[in-house]
Structure 1
Amino acid sequence: MTPDREKLHLKACSQGDLTYSDPRTGYPVFTALALERRGDCCGCGCRHCPYGHQEVTPDERAMLHRDPWIEGDLPKGPVDLLFWSGGKDSYLTLRALEREAARPTVLLTTFDGRSEQVAHQEVLVQEIRHQRKRLGCAQVLVPLFPGTGYMDRVLLGIQTLQFRTPVARLVFGDLHLDHVRTWREDAFSACSDIASIPIHLPLWGVPYEELLNDLESAPVQARVSAVADESCAQVISVGDLFNRDLIARLPNGIDEFGENGEFHSCIEFLPKT
């Protein structure tokens, strides 16, 4: 989809319009607001399907340039928008926000629009959607496609949320890498439409022992979902539980939380007792 179409659609939605005119053909196009009135996906591959084209066949869905969409009931008033990968750091960040109790949290997840995998975590977005249901919060899902910039798609996802509810803070689970923090601050401040939204890093500089204690007290466990470092691959495998025993096996020089991308994790919920 061209940037002009995206802007026209966002403008139409912000005005509460149910259609807009395609700039190339002049034909009317239903907005996501109009399609939401159906209550579910019709399976026809509508341009602005607000349900992620879930009733379109997987093969056909993989060929569509899908808009970001929202799942779950949005809370009223301003929200914190947490960038959610489904791993331990994301989950610990959510727990930190819950302790702050400043405002409701909405999740935002980016994933490959063709394979439907979440980058780095190497898990299917369906697993991330299942996490959202267990957590009971709303989620913005942002498919990424070749030839479209990451920040352009993230901005579209944020704007998709903004015409429904204000965003108070952009929240990330970064722990201590200065270059990652600097990149985020520079990249998001360069987007004029969202430059005024502050970035919040609740876990920044928190000692690992404190994070481990918090994870151990939580109703979840984290498993390794991907191993990128060759030395790590000699001692840990996909499916291993992330715990103190795993940390003790890590080679010297490897970050205990895999903050340098050495390995990644995905949380799973423990059975209710």
Structure 2
Amino acid sequence: MKTLLSWSGGKDSALALRALRRDANIELVGLLTTLSQEHDRISMHGVRSELLDLQSCAAGLSSWRVAIPAPTSDCPICPIEDSDCPVEQDTNCPIDTSGTPYDAAMGAAMKEAVSQGVEAIAFGDIFLEDLRAYREKRLAEVGLKAIFPLWGRDSTELFEEFIAAGFHAITTCVDGSKLDQSWVGRPLDAAFLADYKAQYPDLDPCGENGEFHSFVTNGPVFSRPVDYKLAETVSRDSFWFQDLLPIGAPACSLQYP
């Protein structure tokens, strides 16, 4: 089945990629990423598109990009202004995104995917039922299937699997209403998991509710590490972002179209 993987560049995306590559029924054809059109950065993760280039090249997969004109919020579904979005309270989103710039951009991308023979979109979601239902509904409208290779897994076990498999990643964004600044720019390792569970026993260890976002720099899904250096740490609204600067240029040309 020709499949695109929804790719944020973070931990769950990398675990999903690893799982999909082990599935003989899946033919991966690319990584699908939404970026802020204004800043040319991965939505919510705040990662520069140049680093996405390096990841795509290291993964050996083309980068399918969707530029989102609207401001990006902390809503896991769509970039509608935070003050209007109730998803953080774990309710069904009553907002109709049809007709919004987000809907138009994603709709066009999905139609293009279908025209290229894509049959399914895979996601690294773990347990958010409302988000899964939203994705399945939108994809079904254009004849695409939704795949969730990590669905129902225990978050702690997934984090431990990430470490044991040899992945390396760094947090690039944390929700300041849940975590303090010290958590941004930290490597995702055993110490991170132990500290996180000790200090925040009620929060999800994988950050499934938006507690933190990450950027994967090496691991079994890459042919080479993604080299970077730390830049400034910035505060935007209630979020802390760790800016990363790429080192070197991609050794391939895989961007689509």
Q: Is the 8 A contact 1:83 1:107 kept in 2?
A: yes
Tell me, in whole angstroms, the C-alpha distance in 2 between the residues paired with 1:123 and 1:268: 12
Q: For 1:264, which of 190, 198, 213 is the aligned residue?
A: 213
Shift of 1:81: 1.1
Q: TM-score, normalised by structure 2?
A: 0.67
Kept in 2, the 8 Å contact 1:229–1:263? The answer is no
The corresponding residue for 2:56 is 132
Considering fraction of residues, name the structure with more strand: 2
- Judging changes above 3 Å, is the alpha-carbon distance between structure 1 residues 187 and 158 closer, same or farther for their aligned structure 2 residues? closer
Alignment of 1:183-194 (within 5 A): 183-189=134-140, 191=141, 194=142
The equivalent of 1:180 in structure 2 is 131
**Alpha carbons of structure 1 residues 247 and 214: separation in structure 2 relative to 1, 3 Å:** closer
8 Å Cα contact 2:139-2:145 kept in structure 1: no
CA distance in 1, matches of 2:166, 2:103: 33
Conserved 8 A contact 1:113-1:144: yes
Cα distance change, pair 91–186 in 1 and its aligned pair in 2 (3 A) = same
In structure 2, C-alpha distance between the alignment counterparts of 1:213 and 1:256, rounded to whole Å: 10
Extract structure 1 runs of 4+ deviating beyond 6 A. none
Distance 1:170 1:218 in 2: 24
Opposite residue 107 of structure 2, the aligned amino acid is L
Task: Pick 1 or 2: higher relative contact order, CA cutoff 8 A, min separation 6.
Answer: 2
| Residue 261 to residue 83, structure 1, CA distance change in 2 (3 Å) | same
- Determine whether 1:103 maps to 2:26: yes
TM normalised by structure 1 equals 0.63
- Whole-Å separation in 1 of the counterparts to 2:24 and 2:52: 23
Question: Match for residue 244 of structure 1?
Answer: 190
Aligned to 2:174, which of 223, 227, 238? 227
Asked if 2 retains the 8 angstrom alpha-carbon contact of 1:140 and 1:161, the reply is no
State the alpha-carbon separation in 2 of the partners of residues 197 and 231 from structure 1. 35
Say whether residues 1:161 and 2:113 are aligned partners: yes
> Structure 2 matches for 1:1-273, cutoff 5 A?
79-105=2-28, 106-146=30-70, 148-163=100-115, 165-189=116-140, 191=141, 194=142, 196-233=143-180, 236-250=182-196, 251-269=200-218
Unaligned runs of 5+ in 2: 71-98, 226-257
